[in-house]
Amino acid sequence: MSSMLIEAILLGLVGVIGVIDSRLIGRQNIGRPLILSSLAGLVLGDLTKGITLGASLELISMGFVSIGAAGPPNMQFGSIIATAFAILSGASTEEALTIAIPVAVAGEFLSIIMRMVIAQFSHIADRAIEDGKYKKAIHIHLWWSFIFNALVYFIPIFLTIYLGADLVASLVEQIPEVITNGLTVAGNLLSALGFAMLLSSMLSKKMFPYFLLGFLLVAYSGLDLIAITLYSGILAFILDRVIYAKKEA
């Protein structure tokens, strides 16, 4: 098999990994842009670029929320495909971001269609339950939906990478600089919105002391983020033990 075919298959499987999260093993945040872009970068031999782009997409996705029936852009599609094209075409992070958002929006339309089809499986499961075929109902709930969901992710990602790399690379080169700059600014604004939404949950009497402690540690301790994260983990463990001990008492 050609290297492009192998890479397309592996990237399709990265998309399947994103499906496993929340749909088969619970919400483990494996399907976040930072994880999927890093995996895509690892598959294509440029982990650094994958992490860099994933971090930018992660900041943007913080501002996306699902409200009622309106779903946010599907960043799983956007993360994998944008990272792949950034590495395969040599595009910059800014140019890759111009691909990520439109692909994510298109991916959400595909997700809506997918959910409409999966919803029909529940009727088949209902009939199986009425007939006393409980194992069949369990299989429909767990495996039919997951396999269909996985194919909906795998096939578009595979075909896009295998058939469209050169086409998208040429389209990226033809994007006017004014549009690239505009989308870069928009991406930065979305990142700021994501931070604002994250901070809004911390600006409470209960959470603000921890936010202030983290800010002061970063500003004045001279420790890097890994060290601060480790200390924070230890602090969280101690506080959890204290709270648990009080409940037990």
Q: Which pLDDT does position 239 carry in this prediction?
A: 85
What is the per-residue pLDDT for 186? 62
Which runs of consecutive H residues, i.e. helices, occur in 65-176? 75-89, 93-130, 134-139, 145-174
> Residue 167 has what pLDDT?
59
Question: Running DSSP on this structure, what letter comes out for residue 204?
Answer: S
Question: Letter for the amino acid at 159?
Answer: L
- Look at the block and give the residue holding tokens 């598959």: 43
Q: What is the pLDDT of residue 68?
A: 46
Q: Quote the CA–CA distance of 92 and 32 in Å, as a whole number.
A: 21
| Cα–Cα distance for residue pair 56/138, rounded to 1 Å | 39
CA distances from residue 151 to 3, 81, 180, 185 in whole angstroms, order as listed:
22, 16, 32, 34
Sign of CA dihedral 196, 201, 202, 204: positive
The model carries a pTM of 0.63
> Would you give per-residue pLDDT tens digits along the chain (249 residues)?
577 788 888 888 888 888 887 677 767 778 888 888 999 999 988 888 888 888 888 877 776 655 444 556 778 888 888 888 888 877 777 777 777 777 777 777 777 777 777 778 888 888 888 888 888 888 887 788 888 888 888 888 888 888 765 555 565 566 666 765 665 566 556 656 666 766 776 677 777 888 888 888 888 888 887 888 888 888 888 888 877 677 666
Q: Cβ(194)–Cβ(60) under 8 Å? A: yes
Q: How far is CA 220 from the centre of its chain?
A: 33
Q: Report the alpha-carbon distance of residue 147 to residue 19 in Å, rounded.
A: 9
